[in-house]
Amino acid sequence: MGNPEDAFPQSVHTVPNSERENYKIEPTHINKSSEGIVNNSNYYDDQKDKIVLDLSSSLVSEFPGNHLGSNCTHIVHLNIDYNDICEIPNGLSSQLPNLQIFQADGNELLKLPDDFGDFQFLRKLCICENRLKSLPESLMNLKNLQLLKVSSNSLRQLHSEIGQNFLLEELHVEENKLKRLPATLGLLKHLHTLIASDNRIEQLITTIGECENLKVVDLSRNRINQIPQSFGHLSKLTRIDLSENKVCDLGEQFASCSSLESIFLDLNMFAKFPQWFQDLEKVQEISMKSNDLGGAAVPEGFGFKSQDLRILDLRGNIIEVLPKSFCHLSSLKVLMLGTPLEYLERSPNFQNGNWLRFLPDNFHLLTSLTKLCVEENQLLALPERIGDLVNLEEFYFGSNMIDEIPASFTKLPSLKICQLSKNRLKRLPDDFGALTTLSELYLDSNVLRTLPSSMSRLVNMEIFDLTENKLRDVPWGILAGMRKLKALNMFFNKFEVPYSEIPYIIKKTHYAERNPELKNNWRGRNNASMTVVLGTQEENTPTPDK
């Protein structure tokens, strides 16, 4: 156990005026007329230096109150993060009358003293990763508090009069046991960030609509089943995360349509897009995977205004059709309509994607796409002009019912990963080898009988999977040019050669030649290099001793 006296001399920092910005500690100028708050700007005019006392990770188990020094009235920032402190003493505000920032993350605090609200100038309070079950009501007296972080505790409630912390801008209460937020939260007119994820909140307070400056709201992983209409009155939201709740509706109108940039609604119960989604002007990312979106859940008209949308995740729903307006998302880079799982479903009678049978005729207009995932749907064909997606790099269409690849497909100049596993492909286009940027190609579980000779041009291939097809001839000519292969699987075909002659990747270790000029020259595995070569089972079988 460390001694605070040992840590103290190295942990006190006197901060000259010229370096105050490095600590983000600036004079607070407050009007006398604002909610009875006193003007404290003269305090800094009289003060030559400010002191930051850093006792973080010092192995102390008791609050070092007796070691604050004679200049404790000059301390404006106290950091006792990541120790084993169980208790904060009463009367601390008398010892540190000018404290602005208090950090005590990662300790063993069970409670805060009842008089903790007596810090007249406290602006930032961080007490995450402790064992707090409640907060003292005196916190309402912290009239200058701008940041409150109490994440990762065991809080069952916040101080009921949190609305009296009029200047509060950020509230972080994630990973607690909260069932509700205080109704007085609506009085926080300066609040712009509310993070309350990973709690047990069942109902959102109606007064949240009065937090007129809210920009970021994260209520993910709670138990919320209904959003009050007042939530739609918030007009400055840029990011909302309601993932993993039981929400099915966000109302018919939403005042933040013109400001929202990120929307996360994964793992809820939405059956359709909110109608106001058509009016999202600045949105850059929407994620609604694993909901109940079905049929024509995406309304006609969506896509015309959302010209900044870059990522759209609708995986794991039951969408059957996309509107033509969808293809006017001119900035869309990542579109995910397939399975939310990491791997394709093994059972042919079960799918985790959507129910799309066709993509819109004008799908080729999405020329900004770099990643397209439509695996585990019911697609019968690819768009004829799919080759117009000139920026496409990743293409995942496994577990569909595609039996033919359109000729334009081979004109994708940037394609690196192509997954067409578990379809009904009988042949590939003759010029498939034109896809020279390909590094990963998955054609397993199809009905291919031959491969076009042009595939010998796929010299950048690193992963090549042809498992479970109907190939009869081993494509040695094609494989010969793939000198970068790291993984090859061709088993379960109809090859007219013995199993032992089916090619696969062999990794061989090569040791450097012994240098006779060096003493104790060692050529062990640590000094070896690994090379990958193409071989057969027969070649890799040890020859029995004669």
* Region 337-358 average pLDDT: 88
Q: How confident is the model at residue 519 (pLDDT cuts 50, 70, 90)?
A: low
Whether residue 93 lies inside any domain: the answer is yes
Note whether 487 and 534 are within 8 A (CB): no
* Region 49-55 average pLDDT: 90
pLDDT of 400: 96
* Region 144-159 average pLDDT: 98
- More reliable by pLDDT, 302 or 7: 302
pLDDT of 464: 98
Q: How confident is the model at residue 5 (pLDDT cuts 50, 70, 90)?
A: very low
* Region 278-284 average pLDDT: 97
The continuous run of DSSP H or E covering 371 comes out as strand 371-373
Q: Rounded CA gap, 444 and 82, in Å?
A: 52
Q: Rounded CA gap, 240 and 262, in Å?
A: 6
Q: Rounded CA gap, 160 and 224, in Å?
A: 20
Residue 245 reports pLDDT greater than 80: yes
pLDDT in tens, 8-18: 333 455 444 44
The continuous run of DSSP H or E covering 170 comes out as strand 170-172
First to last CA, the chain: 69
Residue 345 reports pLDDT greater than 90: no
Q: Rounded CA gap, 303 and 449, in Å?
A: 41
pLDDT in tens, 286-344: 999 999 999 999 999 999 999 999 999 999 999 999 999 999 999 999 999 999 998 88
* CATH value at residue 113: 3.80.10.10
Whether residue 500 lies inside any domain: the answer is no
Q: Rounded CA gap, 215 and 5, in Å?
A: 44
Note whether 402 and 427 are within 8 A (CB): no
What contacts 438, CB < 8 A, 6 or more positions away?
415, 416, 417, 418, 458, 460, 461
pLDDT of 507: 72
Whether residue 428 lies inside any domain: the answer is no
Tokens of 261: 């940039």
By C-alpha distance, which of 309, 356, 355 is closest to 335?
A: 309
- More reliable by pLDDT, 183 or 500: 183
Q: Rounded CA gap, 419 and 415, in Å?
A: 11
Total structural domains within the chain: 1
pLDDT in tens, 375-389: 999 999 999 999 999
Q: What is the mean pLDDT of the chain?
A: 88
Residue 132 reports pLDDT greater than 50: yes
Q: Rg (Cα) of the chain, in Å, rounded?
A: 32
pLDDT of 115: 97
Whether residue 57 lies inside any domain: the answer is yes
Whether residue 136 lies inside any domain: the answer is yes
Tokens of 268: 């809820």
Whether residue 335 lies inside any domain: the answer is no
* Region 490-499 average pLDDT: 91
By C-alpha distance, which of 130, 126, 89 is closest to 107?
A: 130
pLDDT in tens, 391-421: 999 999 999 999 999 999 999 999 999 999 9
Whether residue 32 lies inside any domain: the answer is yes
Q: Which has the minimum average pLDDT: 66-75, 168-177, 261-270, 356-365?
A: 66-75
pLDDT in tens, 528-545: 555 555 666 655 544 444
Residue with tokens 């059972």: 347
Whether residue 36 lies inside any domain: the answer is yes
Domain ranges, residue 150: 1-168
Residue 454 reports pLDDT greater than 60: yes
Residue 66 reports pLDDT greater than 80: no
3-state secondary structure at position 534: strand
* Region 163-172 average pLDDT: 98
Q: Rounded CA gap, 17 and 45, in Å?
A: 11
The continuous run of DSSP H or E covering 505 comes out as strand 503-510
- More reliable by pLDDT, 301 or 24: 301
pLDDT of 520: 64
